Structure 1
C-alpha cells in the first residue's frame, strides 16, 4: 500500500505481537494510582556542591510533564527553555520525576521558591548541580500498575507474562505517538522538511514585534518528523516479528564485527536511510521503500541515521492476582521504552481515561 493509500485508508497502528496473538483483555488507568511511575535518576557526585541549576523531585497527578515545566518556569520567572527534565511522563497517573531550573546566584531564595512550588506539587527532594537535566539523563523508570476488568485464562496470562520476563517483547513505539488515526503521519507527508534544519535563532521574534508563530510551527514539524521516523521503525520491526528474526542478529547488523553480544537493532531513519548493510540493510530498505513519500521526508533533513533495540525486556517483572479480574504488575524499563508497549503484547488494552465512567465504576478523566 502506498503512502497516499495509507493516508486515505488509515495507517497501521497495531503491530504483530511476539506470540502472534493476545491472550486476554484488561483496562488500565481506572484511577491515577493504578498507573504509578517513579523516575530512576542517579545524581552526580558533585550534585551537593552547588551549581546554577536547582533540581526538584516532584510528585504529580493529572498533569503532564510539559505543563509542569511551563508552570515551574512561570513560578521561577525563567524561560521555559531553562527548565530541564529527563523524559515525558503520563498525565493520567501518579508520577515522580526530576526537574531542573536555571537559577544562578539565587541559592538564598531557594527555600521561598520551593514553598511556592509546594502549593502545586509535593517536593520530595532537592539539590543543586552545575548542568541542566536533559532527555535521557535518567537510568530508567519503575512502574507499579493495576490492570482491572481482566478477562482471560489466568494460566495463559501467567505463561505470557513469564515469556515477557524471560524473552521480552517487540520494542514498538506506542500508537499515541502517531496521533488520532495516524494524523501526525498525514501531516508528515505535507510538512516542509527543510524547517528542521533552521537554526533556532532564526525563529526568535524581534523585540517589539508581534508574536511569531514560526517557532510553534517548527516544533510541530519536529513532532511529525519523529512520528514518521517511529512508524518506519515499527514497520521494519513488524517485518522482523513476522519472519521470526526480531531476536536474531542478521548479517549487516551495525557494530556486529566489534561486539558479538551486540543487541539486535532496527533503523531510526535518517539522511542516507540506515546504517545497516548486507542482508539486514537490504531488508530495512525494502520495507521503507514501500512508503517513498514518507522516506523522502528524511532526504533533506541532514538527520543522521540512528539505531534502536528491537527487543524490550523489562527488569524485575513481577505480578500477582487480586481475585480473578485484577492484576498487579511491577517492573523497570530503560529510557525510551513504554509500559503500554509491554502490556499490548499480552492484553487487548482499554484505556479508561478515554471514556467517562464506561470502563470502571470509579474511572477518572482529567
Structure 2
C-alpha cells in the first residue's frame, strides 16, 4: 500500500484508539422510517466487541433461518460499540422473543416490522464518537487543524479496513486476477479492495499536487450526498460557488471497463497515477471482471465536527460522515493514531 500524504501539513499528534470498545462508537443514521407492517422484522441492535457478520449469524440461529434470511445496510467494526439495523425475513410473521438475544455482545434497541428487505447501503450515514488516549501534541495546534478540517473538508480516502490486515487484500486480488479461485464473497471483497487502492493512488497524486479540492481541466463533478455526476464542462462562477458551498466535489475513478469520463488534465493525472506495473494489473483484472467505470468524491466534509478534552491527554471527537466514508480519514490528518485493538489476537 502506498503511504497516504497529508493535506494540511505535518502531523500534529500521536495517540491511541480502541483501548476499549467504548472508545470507538458508531451509530447508523437511518435512511427511512419503518412501515410498521410487512414480513421483514427490522431490528436496531447495539453491539459490543462483535462484527456485523457474527451478529447476523446469531440472528439467523435465533430465528431458525438460513443466514441469507438476515440482511444489513453496512458493515461495522468489531472492536467498537456500534448501533445498526438488521432485517430478518419472517414471512409467517412469527418471531422469537427479542429478549432472548440479550448478551454482553448484543442489545436490541428497537424491533418493528417493515415491508422490504434491508438493502446494502440503505443508510443516511454514520455518526462517530472517538476517544483518543495518550495524546501527545500541542492542544492549540490540534484544535486549529480540526477547525481547518471543519471549514475546508479533507481527502476522502478509503480506510485501511478496506484492504485487510497488513494490506493483504490487494495482493490477494492480484492472485485472483492471476487465476486463483475465490469464494463469491471473497471475490466481491477483493474487487472492492482493488478499486479502492487505485482510487487512493489518484487521490494521493492530487493531494501531493494540492488540487484535491480544486478543479482541473476536464473535471468530473459529483453532487454532494449523491452518486450523481456531471461534466466535464467549462469552469464558471456558478461552479465555483457550488464548490465553495460543498454542493459539488471533484471526483476520481472507481476503475472498470470503458473510457474514463474525465478529460484533459484530470484524465492525464488519473492515468498517470495508476500507470505502474501493479496498478496496470489491477486495472486489467477489474476490466476483465466487467466492472463499469464509476466515480467517487475526492473531498469529504465531516458534519457537526466537535471536540473536547476529557483530560490533558484524552481527546474526544464527534462527527457524522456520509455512507462509505471512513473515520480514519479524519484521524489521518491529525497524525499517527495506533489501534490498540490490533495488539489483541483475533478470536
Q: TM class by shorter-chain length? A: 0.7 to 0.9
The correspondence for 2:32, drawn from 20, 38, 43, is 43
Deviates more, 1:184-193 or 1:264-273: 184-193
Distance 2:346 2:286 in 1: 38
2:244 is equivalent to residue 240 of structure 1: no
* CA displacement at 1:69 relative to structure 2: 0.9
Q: Distance in 1 between matches of 2:166 and 2:342?
A: 15
Q: What is the match of residue 137 of structure 2?
A: 152
Gaps of 5+ in 2: 221-229, 243-247
> Which of 287, 291, 295 pairs up with 2:273?
287
What's 2:223 paired with?
none
* Residue pair 1:37, 1:141 contacting (<8 A) in 2 also: yes
Alignment partner, residue 275 of structure 1: 261
**What is the aligned partner in structure 1 of residue 225 from structure 2?**
none
- The alpha carbon displacement at 1:56 in A equals 0.4
Distance 2:38 2:194 in 1: 39
> Alignment partner for residue 333 of structure 1, among 317, 321, 337?
321
- Structure having the higher strand fraction is 2
* 3-state secondary structure, aligned to 1:272: coil
Contact 1:37 1:95 in 2 (8 A): yes
Rounded to whole Å, the distance in 2 between the matches of 1:74 and 1:193 is 37
User: Which residue in 2 is equivalent to 1:114?
Assistant: 98
Local SS of the residue matching 1:266: strand
* Matched residue SS, 2:142: helix
- Gap regions ≥5 residues in structure 1: 1-10, 196-213, 357-363
For residue 214 of structure 2, give the secondary structure of its aligned residue in structure 1. coil
Q: Quick one: which of 171, 184, 190 aligns to 1:218?
A: 184
Aligned with 1:345 (options 311, 323, 333): 333
Shift of residue 193 of structure 1? Answer: 8.0
Q: Aligned pair 1:20/2:9, yes or no?
A: yes
3-state SS in 2 of match to 1:127: strand
Structure 1 distance, partners of 2:15, 2:274, is 33
Deviation at 1:62, TM superposition (A): 0.6
The answer to whether the Cα contact below 8 Å between 1:56 and 1:125 also exists between their aligned partners in 2 is yes
Matched-pair contact (CA < 8 Å) for 1:17–1:169: no
After superposition, residues 6-155 of structure 1 pair within 5 angstroms as 11-12=1-2, 14-44=3-33, 47-48=35-36, 50-106=37-93, 109-110=94-95, 112-119=96-103, 121-155=106-140
Q: CA deviation at 1:265?
A: 0.9
Whole-angstrom distance in 2 between the partners of 1:66 and 1:135:
13
CA drift at 1:142? 0.9
What is the deviation of 1:77? 2.0
- 1:173 is matched with 158
SS in 1 for 2:41: strand
For 1:138 and 1:296, locate their aligned partners in 2 and report how far apart those are by CA, in whole Å. Answer: 32
CA displacement at 1:30 relative to structure 2: 0.8
Provide the rounded CA distance (Å) in 2 between the counterparts of 1:180 and 1:92: 14
CA RMSD of aligned residues (A): 2.2
Equivalent-residue separation in structure 1 for 2:259 and 2:208 (angstroms): 22
* 1:250/1:194 CA distance change after superposition, 3 Å: farther
* Count of matched residue positions in the alignment of Structure 1 and Structure 2: 324
Residue 250 (structure 1) aligned to one of 216, 223, 241? 216
Counterpart of 1:297 (choices 285, 290, 297) is 285
**Corresponding residue SS for 1:131:** coil
